[in-house]
Amino acid sequence: MRLLLGLNLPEQPAFALVLIGDEYLLASLKLRNHRARYSRLACQFSLNPWTPAQCAQYLSTGLSAGGLSAAALEAAAGELLASASAGLPRSLCLLARAAGIAAATDQAQKITPAHVQRALEQGPCVPGLLAAPPPSPT
């Protein structure tokens, strides 16, 4: 951070910081105690969530890069991954990976919606997951 702010340096350094991921850091930099860091940002860009077609393309490209055909993912499982991830690439990747591990554990030839469901149960903090909270015991 000292380098980013250029504190106590004779010359302003050439420095770039690229942040990819959560919006939490950018929002926290707007707070009063980090305002100096936020004021030094030259540019910021937010990526829009992917469409279901883009999610499907990402999944098929990832499968082919791993030497698998697109048939290794059932269509319903791909749709469930796209909707559960809310189009966020990082969430889509993490969910697809967990579903693939679940399928490999079952020694299945295809990733099914049941494998995606198991992946969702392991990581309930997925942004697109619209599950109702469990009922409170009364």
Residue 19 falls within a domain, yes or no? yes
Q: Does a structural domain hold residue 8?
A: yes
Residue 31 has pLDDT above 70, yes or no: yes
Same structural domain, 9 and 69: no
**pLDDT above 90: residue 129:** no
- The answer on 70 and 17 residing in a single domain is no
Asked if pLDDT for residue 131 goes beyond 50, the answer is: no
Instruction: Please state the domain count of the chain.
Output: 2
Instruction: Please tell me whether residues 18 and 77 are part of one structural domain.
Output: no
What CATH number is associated with residue 118? 1.10.8
32 with 63, same domain?
Answer: no
Q: What is the reported pLDDT for 12?
A: 63
Question: Does residue 65 sit in the same domain as residue 113?
Answer: yes
Query: Where would I find the H helices in the chain?
Result: 2-5, 24-29, 35-39, 52-65, 75-85, 89-105, 113-122
What digits encode the pLDDT tens for the residues 83-92? 998 888 888 9
Could you list the residue range(s) of the whole structural domain that residue 109 is in? 52-122
Q: What is the mean pLDDT of residues 115-135?
A: 67
In a domain, 134, yes or no: no
Summarised one tens digit per residue, pLDDT across range 71-111 is 899 999 999 999 998 888 888 988 999 999 999 999 999 99
Judge if 58 and 116 occupy the same domain: yes
CB atoms within 10 A of CB 77: 23
Alpha-carbon torsion, ordered 28, 31, 34, 35, to 10 deg: 120
| Confidence tier at 126 by pLDDT (50, 70, 90) | low
pLDDT band at 136 (very low <50, low <70, confident <90, very high): low
pLDDT band at 133 (very low <50, low <70, confident <90, very high): very low
Inside any domain, residue 44:
no
